[in-house]
Structure 1
Amino acid sequence: MPANLKRRPSDTSASNMDDGSDFSQPSTPKQVKIEHETEELSKEERQERVFANLRLRRIVKENHGSDINQLSFFFNNKNFSAPYGIDQSKTFDKRGSVQRDQSDTSNILVTVGGPQINVYDNEHCGDHLDIMSHFNLAVESEEGSPPNKQLHSACWLHRPEDALIATAGADSKIHILSLANSEERAILSGHSKTITDLQSHPQNDRHILSTSKDGTVRLWDVEEEKCLAIYDVDATVSVFHPSGATFITAGARGEFREWDVVNLEDDGMDSGETAQIDKKQSRLLKKMHNDSQIDCIRYVNGNLLSKSINGRMEYWDPVSEKSIRSFRVKTGENFSRFDVSLNESFFCVGSNSGAIYVFNLHTGKQIAELQHRRSTKAVRCCVFTRDCRSVICAGEDGFIWRYDYIDDEILKEWANGQKSD
């Protein structure tokens, strides 16, 4: 049956909630800046000060009440270039809306939870996460029984005058959604079991990689709506090399494999035949996490950053297979996607008790621990904003938590106000 995609749905799809914290004062329209920036401090140290001053400012609860499995900003780095981190300067109009270039889509955030995809505007409405579009796969079948439509992953694909979202989960299909037209554009079928991970190609927005519990990873041409290659591997997550020429898969028993991305023209397979790739054509890499399940991997500075569900994170060189730095994060036993800042210097990761940890990747130093007294459930995913002045996390029961940078002057005002009370 057709998917249900709505533009600006009713308030039942998601609701903004007062955070209930001591840091709920309204923001004022002004240019955001970092206080006490001195020449003696490096850019990295100034960024660390920002993370140290993050405070909870917004809570959103989505109506599906299920785990939110992934968050993703539409940075569109393949087609848009602009400053990021503390180099980015934002200005606001009198209404508190951020002034930005029309081609800058980094304020757009997608959430994947339950049977729903929700798209938010993270900035134009000041402190609020304003819902823009709502996609619901939980459409009852003709027999009246709801199918299993739990979603697990999504990725963005740029198109002229549009933004596409590829999303997938328990129904084993990949749904291609048009944000501009508020419609389901295509369905890619082929997997026979739950799809756990989707990755867009780092060099183009035509190809995506899907990882499934059916024991295969598939390479797709979204425009042609066809599968280009099937890789025989039991994997939980995958990641493209930044060049797009190879990718790495990781599995439930800590196994890493490197694969070549099939070039159909070179293989003489442009007639539409799907390439079949077995394990013998891959390179088996060292087990960096022993036999623990890998739940997230990313290329960072040409190296790999990988996480297992027990909280161990490894920063390592996949060519030499040597460890650069190990992290033991207090996440507990928890499936959680981490995120890396656009300058590839910091990462954030969530725990099974509602905390988010921010680390300096180069020094190994923990920069911040973010948690509110009401945040006690497992964090399944977290992301940095483009300017790294906010960290957004989500997880169990459909809650989204946003921590924002508050400068020293405002923090002192709040502290003095609390003392006077």
Structure 2
Amino acid sequence: MVAVKKRETPVEAVESPAKRGKASVTEGMAAEAVEAPPSSPTSAMVVRTVVRESHNEPITRVLFNRTKAGNSSNLFATVGGNQCTVYDSRHFGAFVGMVVHYVHPEGEGELTCLAWSELGGQSAHPKGDEEVAVGTSAGDVLVISVVEAAVTKKLVGHAKPVTHVASSAARPGRLLTLSRDGTARLWSVSEERCLAVFEVGAATSSIAWSPSGGWFVAGTSSGALQQWFVPESLEEGQQEAYVKKVAGESFRKLQQEGGAGLHREEIDCVVFAGRGFAGRQRVVTKSVDGRISAWDAPDASDANDQVTQRGSWKVPGSIKCYSRLDATSDGAYIACGNSGGQVFVYDARGGDCVAKLEPHRLRQEVTCCAISDDHQDVISTLGDGYLFRYRHLPPELVAKKLEKEREEAEQAEAKGNNGGE
């Protein structure tokens, strides 16, 4: 394998997908008006933009930027095949703008997963930067700078494909990765070195790092939940050990209460979604049978190892569906797709399904979903590189649509009264 040199891996940076032609974009509405959409998702959301990425492979992850700085919440990123793309969802009207397009060199594997990296003021750029960490099938992790439009760091250590990458607001400059080699690794991005190896086992299928940074949740192929502790001493710049293995007493099984929401199949997705009761972290988990559960999990310092179920949903039409869900930062809404291309948005506070969104023609499995923190965008990916962006129509377009439907109904009624002539 040819080593990637810092700041020398080419990444395409473009202003608009229409200018470069790297992704084909179909816009559902030609006219754009000032939008005043509802403040919450509803079934009235429609497909406003369709993107076909040029790799022609399933998009395995789509994720809005939710880093602590929050200055670039308009950005979302995708990964699929040998490509990682960063989009702007706010400054191109009804369209999405392509900001960065990275193509992984041929023969060096595919890109498998991604996460937005927490910089915490560590960027050397005067106006700040955003970074996307991307896992590869070769076991490496690439860190892409949005400002430089280049791979600036490469983390090497896993022996098998990286399946999950996670960051924590409380641990800027750190990344947590999960690999099929049965380990999770904690990295110092700036030093490009591994700080700790967590021997989580090959049965671990998904992870999510808590916002507090002191622990992470691991879901397993049997539907169990584990809580792994991240030692704080690793953040103190200790250099005596290049790699510190962490096992044994460093994790505990979380005892799930509430039989109706127990996972009995592989947990393919875990996300954190704000705070729950008594200040506990709210964890949302999904298994491949379409079962979604929301839990209040104990902190690392809490001797109680039980998680309390706060909600449970069954996504219709999900049979062995590996579909990554998403939740807003405040934990208000959860979005998940099914095997038939539909997307369901749930109100996590009340448990109601507030939106059922239908795809445009395609009826294939939704590989992943994303929902913006302002509740205005819902994104789903399906098929070979298709991305669907759902939004509410502006009031002006809704009025035109209703007027057109009224006219068509009047014409049909008149035709019926004239005997079909």
- TM-score normalised per structure 1: 0.83
- Whether 1:7 aligns to 2:13 is yes
Amino acid at match of 1:323: Q
1:79 alignment counterpart: 69
Where does residue 51 of structure 1 map in the other structure? 42
The one of 151, 154, 158 aligned to 1:184 = 151
For the residues of structure 2 that align with 1:191 and 1:266, how far apart are their CA atoms? Answer: 21
Aligned residue number for residue 418 of structure 2:
none
Q: 1:216 aligns with which of 170, 175, 183?
A: 183
Equivalence for 1:244: 213
| Corresponding residue for residue 117 of structure 2 | 156
Shift of 1:266: 8.6
* Pair 419,25 (structure 1): closer, same or farther in 2 beyond 3 Å: farther
Give the SS at the match of 2:397: helix
* 1:265 shift after superposition: 5.5
- Residues 213-233 of structure 1: per-residue CA shift (max 9 Å, x gap): 000001111011111100011
**Bigger shift: residues 60-69 or 391-400:** 391-400
User: Which sits farther off after the overlay, 62-71 or 199-208?
Assistant: 199-208
Q: 1:377 aligns with which of 347, 357, 364?
A: 364
CA distance in 2 between counterparts of 1:369 and 1:201 reads: 31
Q: Secondary structure at the match of 1:334?
A: coil
Task: Give how far 1:267 is off.
Answer: 9.1
CA distance in 2: counterparts of 1:371 and 1:294, whole angstroms: 25
- Aligned mates of 1:293, 1:57 — CA distance in 2: 33
Residues 1:292 and 2:265 aligned together: yes
Task: Report deviation, 1:407.
Answer: 4.8
Moved more, 285-294 or 60-69: 285-294
Distance across 2 between alignment mates of 1:305 and 1:327: 11
What is the percent sequence identity of the aligned residues?
A: 24
Flag structure 2 segments of 5+ consecutive residues without an equivalent.
Answer: 276-280, 299-305, 409-421
CA contact (8 A) 1:53 1:407 kept: no
1:404 corresponds to:
391
Aligned to 2:130, the other structure's residue is in SS state strand
- Does 2:312 correspond to 1:326? yes
Q: CA deviation at 1:27?
A: 1.7
Residue 278 of structure 1 aligns with which residue?
Answer: 247
1:219 aligns to what SS in structure 2? strand
* Alpha-carbon contact 1:338-1:347 (below 8 Å) kept: yes
Please give the root-mean-square deviation of Cα atoms over the aligned residues, in Å: 2.2
- Deviation, structure 1 residue 318: 2.7
CA contact (8 A) 1:153 1:169 kept: no
Q: More displaced, 210-219 or 65-74?
A: 65-74
* Distance in 2 separating the partners of 1:113 and 1:378: 15
Alpha-carbon deviation of 1:12? 4.3
Q: Is the 8 A contact 2:10 2:149 kept in 1?
A: no
CA distance in 2, matches of 1:368, 1:268: 47
Aligned counterpart in structure 1 of residue 31 of structure 2, from 26, 33, 38: 26
The answer to whether the aligner puts 1:60 opposite 2:51 as a matched pair is yes
Please give the alpha-carbon distance, in whole angstroms, between the structure 1 residues aligned to 2:132 and 2:395: 38
Q: Deviations over 1:371-393 (max 9, x none)?
A: 13413111111112232112111
* Residue 133 of structure 1, aligned match among 100, 109, 117: 100
How many residues get paired?
Answer: 373
Amino acid across the alignment from 1:33: A
**Higher mean displacement: 125-134 or 283-292:** 283-292
Please give the secondary structure, in 1, of the residue aligned with 2:42.
Answer: helix
Task: Identify the residue that residue 137 of structure 2 maps to in structure 1.
Answer: 170
Aligned-pair distance for 1:125? 1.2
Correspondence for 1:38: none
Match of 2:290 in 1: 311
Q: More deviation in 233-242 or 282-291?
A: 282-291
Q: 2:376 & 2:246 partners in 1: Cα distance?
A: 43
Q: Is the 8 A contact 1:174 1:189 kept in 2?
A: yes
Instruction: Render the CA deviation track for 1:240-292: whole Å, top value 9, x for unaligned.
Output: 22211111111222222111112335999432431111244210123664441
Q: Give the whole-Å Cα distance in 2 for the aligned partners of 1:419 and 1:372.
A: 25
1:420/1:75 CA distance change after superposition, 3 Å: same
